Amino acid sequence: MLDILIIVVAVALILLSLLQGGKSDGISGAFTGTGGLNLFQNVKERGPEKVIAQVTLYLGVALFVLIIIDKVL
């Protein structure tokens, strides 16, 4: 039962990660120097992006806790 819950949370985490928009120019911008890559830039999500980011964080923590519980039991 716990294994099925871990799979469901992992799939949901993957889907939510794919829904999130990119916050930088990617690796090509890092090598070419275009776009002003600033690693410490304060990027704030608003509206649905913020909800998706928070749910992704919570699902990540839940997955971590479920895997620890699975290994202990």
Extents of the domains making up the chain: 1-21+44-73
d(CA 32, CA 54): 32
Q: Is-contact 72 52, C-beta < 8 A?
A: no
> At what angle are helices 2-19 and 48-72 packed, to 10 degrees?
150
Burial 13-33 (b: 16+ CB within 10 A, else e): beebeeeeeeeeeeeeeeeee
pLDDT in tens, 10-66: 999 999 999 987 665 555 555 555 555 555 566 677 888 899 999 999 999 999 999
pTM above 0.75, yes or no: no
How many beta carbons lie within 10 A of that of residue 9, not counting itself?
Answer: 19
